[in-house]
Amino acid sequence: MSASRNGNAPADLFLRIVAGELPATIVHSDDLVVAFEDADPRAPVHVLVVPRERHETVAELAAAAPATLARLVQVAQRIADERCGGHFRLVFNSGEDAGQSVPHVHGHVLGGRPLTWPPG
């Protein structure tokens, strides 16, 4: 559910990080998105980019706030440019069966080594 339908759920881990209530290594912050190091990295570069507003899936974010989704992708590219020569994978998990553990859309910026395929 998006923020407009469900409010800013206090249990939302990412909203708490964005608000500064929980510690995280922030690598980017602006009016639309925040990026921080993943607490359990799966690659040498593993940064999460999250919108400040809560939307559960990337499809919901695209429908409700396409400019925010575009900004998220721009920030992901900038992080990849700075940390892994611009070569990266940007992953969005949508739903529990796809591996989404926090119901707040987030892009995983993965890189820093050759990534295999298929991913899962």
Any idea which residues carry the catalytic annotation? Answer: 106
How many other CB atoms are found less than 10 A from the CB of residue 75? 22
- CB contact at 8 A, 15 and 54: yes
How many other CB atoms are found less than 10 A from the CB of residue 107? 25
From the list 100, 84, 79, 85, the residue with the least C-alpha distance to 37 is 79
